[in-house]
Chains A and B, each alone.
Chain A
Amino acid sequence: MTRDDAFLQFLLRMGDNTLVLGHRVSEWCGHAPVLEEDIALANTALDLIGQTQMWLALAGEVQGDGKSADDLAFLRDAWDFRNALLVEVPNGDFGRTLMRQFLFDSWHKLMLERLKGSSDERVAAIAEKAVKEVTYHVERSRDTVIGLGDGTEESHARMQEALDYLWPYVGELFAGDAVDAEMVAADIAPDPASLRADYDAILAEVMAEATLSIPKSGFAHKGGRDGRMHTEHLGHLLTSMQWLQRAYPGARW
């Protein structure tokens, strides 16, 4: 694997995470339990899609085949996606959506903070921009996890259920491979494993306040970041997200 190959994979991982999660979160538009939450979810989705445009535009540039961010978003099939499995799982109820958001946001913020110091100034610039938005995302998802976790009997039970369901998808965020090793060698991105201690500390604090128990199991579903095996949910998501460009190739508005 050349450095450019690894760099492309790294950029697709960043951009596909924000693209797939952005799409998932946008599925709430018009369906959230209250108007304020609807607006907050739509704004979060918008930020994530905006960040996707930056990551995938750079991915297209590095790939050098003249592909735009839109080409990469709408014309790749499931096996070419490099997002972590966590972001493609269905939304479930509002509690599970916000739990997933918190689990992702906490990782996302730590990652972007480190990427601000990337040796590649384009990566550093995107991280500098995105981290400002993500700071607001994590503030809200954290408060909501605490509010619902330490809430009513029902909201508490649902949040614990959400954490138990999503926990096996967390480990993949920190599982490094040859791509990551190449990025570390080039000083472009950190070893994902090096973010784990800070992540665990944040989770321990927030889950304690939310009166939720972090599952003991260290089992992790993998296969999204390297594209080896996505869940069946990704294909369904893509049929909805990509249908217009698939049905009417090259359509513009």
Chain B
Amino acid sequence: MAQPSEQQVWDWLDAVPDPEIPVISVVDLGIVRDVAWEGETLTVTVTPTYSGCPATSIISMDIETALRERGIRDIRIKTRISPAWTTDWLSDKGKMKLEEYGIAPPRPAGGPERCPRCGSKAVEKVSQFGSTPCKAHWRCTDCLEPFDYFKCI
């Protein structure tokens, strides 16, 4: 088969869901840093979110599986830790999908703008740590629902 273009590979990867937050893709999450052909080998460079995040190895496996299904045989997943992953790399599409899913997207101000369920701005932090390393636990004092906030890093 003809070698797929790098843009084509990016598009395929944009369909690979994050294992913990399946509404966003690994591309939305900003952890795919580079896609490059080196001869017959496709190198995908991945930057992990949190150093101990158990999803990281699953993500590498999911990327490899997705590309194999597209017929690419020779795949190398390269881990790059510097520059360190930052929530600034989340795509705008990803941020929007997070909020629709019920997770408040990260903001430089350090807290959610509003409750992702009812939209109220009356929110308070419960704990800086939440259901996964990348999230904090907040609650809305109007609708009283707890929610996750994707914390800035």
* Shortest distance between the CB of B133 and any CB in chain A (Å): 5
Is A130 a contact of B129 with CB atoms below 8 Å? Answer: no
CB 8 Å contact bits of B99-129 with A (1 = contact, 0 = none): 0000000000000000000000000001111
User: For residue B135, which residue of chain A has the nearest CB?
Assistant: A43
B8-51 contacts to A (CB < 8 Å): 50-51
Q: Determine the chain B residues whose CB is within 8 A of the CB of A48 once the complex forms.
A: 52
Q: Determine the chain A residues whose CB is within 8 A of the CB of B137 once the complex forms.
A: 36, 39
**For the side of the interface on A, what is the size category?**
20 to 34
User: For residue A44, which residue of chain B has the nearest CB?
Assistant: B129
Q: What separation, in Å, do the CA atoms of A121 and B85 have in the docked complex?
A: 16
With beta carbons under 8 angstroms apart, the residue of B50, B84, B131 that contacts A46 is B50
Q: Determine the chain B residues whose CB is within 8 A of the CB of A39 once the complex forms.
A: 127, 129-131, 137
With beta carbons under 8 angstroms apart, the residue of A40, A51, A129 that contacts B128 is A40
Is A49 a contact of B52 with CB atoms below 8 Å? Answer: yes
Is B133 a contact of A47 with CB atoms below 8 Å? Answer: yes
Q: Determine the chain A residues whose CB is within 8 A of the CB of B51 once the complex forms.
A: 47, 50-51, 53-54, 129-130, 133
Q: What separation, in Å, do the CA atoms of A133 and B51 have in the docked complex?
A: 8
The listed residue with most A CB atoms (<10 A of its CB), out of B54, B82, B83, B151, is: B82
**A164 CB–B CB distance under 8 Å:** no
* Shortest distance between the CB of A147 and any CB in chain B (Å): 13
**A124 CB–B CB distance under 8 Å:** yes
**A139 CB–B CB distance under 8 Å:** yes
* Shortest distance between the CB of A43 and any CB in chain B (Å): 4
Q: Determine the chain B residues whose CB is within 8 A of the CB of A126 once the complex forms.
A: 81
**A125 CB–B CB distance under 8 Å:** yes
Given contacts A46-B50, A51-B52, are A36 and B83 in contact (CB under 8 A)? no
The 9 A-B residue pairs with the shortest CB-CB distance, nearest first, are A50-B52, A50-B51, A125-B82, A40-B129, A46-B52, A36-B127, A43-B129, A129-B84, A132-B153
